[in-house]
Chains A and B, each alone.
Chain A
Amino acid sequence: MTAELAVLTSRLRGDDKRILVALERRGLPVCHVDPRRLALASTSVTPWSLVLNREISASRARHAAHTLEAAGATVLNCAAATDVCADKWLTTLALRRDGVPTPRTTLALTPEAALDELDRFGYPAVVKPLTGSWGRQVSLLREPDAARAVLEHRAALPNPEAHLIYLQEYVEKPGRDIRVVVLGGRAVAAAYRVSADWRCNVALGAQTVACPIGPELAKVAIAAAGAVGAELAGVDLVEGDGGELLVLEVNHNVELAGAQQAAGDSVDLAGSIAALVADRYEGGAR
């Protein structure tokens, strides 16, 4: 059987393997493709009609998605959504455009402009890299001396993108944030990520606890995934002072372990992704 369906990932994590196995169990012609061994000419015709893009490197994920789409494949998530999710500022703009609530956010185009802006923006503020996950290189600035130190460090980094400063209002949250997994326009699982740290990333040790998906949470999470055009999304939200929900970011390559642990047997997230992919494949993305 020709593999018409590909799962693209350079690191076959537990999540990815479970998705792959779930697709195989459905009898679909699926294969694992490692993008580190992939080269596609601009004139290529894709060997796969449908590609589930689980690549961990944002650069490889974005360019693979664009190249495979140009070659005629359907890619989940699509290249446009991957582009937006891979850049926090583009995500913020998309959320704002669609009226999805987010914390107050500003992009300063140099570290110096950021330092000036912070006098108006106010403290505490959070500085995030435009690209990246797991809370890495995210800094909480409580006062100008800390801001000066962090921004001087950013200015010294060789990557020009590091000099673009994403400033976000710090939301005092109740020791937790919320991750919602949205698949095909449905909120299928949600978890509180509980941490003593001000960052609530599972990668930094946050514990996950089941979170009920009420109508407001589902509405905001689904709107956020829709704003960035992602069919598969991990939407991160915080609860503000008054309990209002604010979207922090939308992840295009959602990691499932934390949400799955919180959900227990109530939902099979890898199986749900496989079902979505199977629906798309059987619905004509071939």
Chain B
Amino acid sequence: MVTACPECESPVDAPDTAPGGLRLSELVECPGCRSELEVIALTPVTLALAPDPEEDWGE
């Protein structure tokens, strides 16, 4: 499934044929602007900019 990057509108391939299929909350990188995108809906596939890292994020 090809959809548009919400940041730069480049086409982003979010393949639901990838191993395990496409999932909600999955992260995808825009090949155009390298933005980190999050899958926020599956039908149709909708991408949003992933949240910026917060202070308490980590391993």
Pick the contact of A132 from B19, B23, B55 — CB < 8 Å? B55
Contact-residue bracket for chain A: 20 to 34
The total of Cβ contacts below 8 Å across the A-B interface reads: 61
Q: Which residue of B lies closest to A59 (CB)?
A: B56
Q: Is the CB of A133 within 8 A of B57?
A: yes
Query: Chain B, 6-46, contact with A by CB distance < 8 Å: what is the 0/1 string?
Result: 00000000000001100111110000000000110000000
Segment 213-261 of A: residues with Cβ below 8 Å from B: 234, 251-255
Distance of A154 Cα from B30 Cα, bound (Å):
35
Q: Is the CB of B27 within 8 A of A13?
A: yes
Q: Is the CB of A11 within 8 A of B25?
A: yes
Q: Is the CB of B58 within 8 A of A253?
A: yes
Residues in chain A near residue B25, CB distance under 8 A: 9-12, 32, 34
Q: Which residue of A lies closest to B38 (CB)?
A: A11
Pick the contact of A133 from B19, B26, B58 — CB < 8 Å? B58
Q: Is the CB of A12 within 8 A of B56?
A: no
Q: Which residue of A lies closest to B39 (CB)?
A: A12
Q: Which residue of B lies closest to A10 (CB)?
A: B25
Pick the contact of A131 from B26, B39, B56 — CB < 8 Å? B56
Q: Which residue of B lies closest to A32 (CB)?
A: B23
Stretch at the interface among A17-25, A139-147, A163-171: A17-25
Pick the contact of B58 from A10, A12, A134 — CB < 8 Å? A134
Q: Is the CB of B24 within 8 A of A58?
A: no
Residues in chain B near residue A59, CB distance under 8 A: 56
Quick check: is A159 within 8 A (CB to CB) of the other chain? yes
Distance of A9 Cα from B23 Cα, bound (Å):
12
Q: A11-B38, A11-B50 are in contact. Are A56 and B58 (CB under 8 A)?
A: yes
Q: Is the CB of B59 within 8 A of A253?
A: yes
Distance of A253 Cα from B58 Cα, bound (Å):
8
Q: Which residue of A lies closest to B20 (CB)?
A: A21
Q: Is the CB of B58 within 8 A of A24?
A: no
Q: How far is the CB of A222 from chain B (nearest CB, A)?
A: 18
Quick check: is A57 within 8 A (CB to CB) of the other chain? yes
Distance of A254 Cα from B39 Cα, bound (Å):
23
Residues in chain A near residue B59, CB distance under 8 A: 133-134, 234, 251-255
Residues in chain A near residue B27, CB distance under 8 A: 11-14
Binding site for A on B (CB under 8 A): 19-20, 23-27, 38-39, 50, 54-59
Q: Which 4 A-B pairs have the closest CB atoms?
A: A133-B58, A251-B59, A21-B20, A58-B56
12 contacts between A and B (CB under 8 A): A11-B25, A17-B26, A18-B20, A32-B23, A32-B24, A34-B24, A56-B58, A57-B56, A131-B55, A132-B55, A133-B57, A252-B59
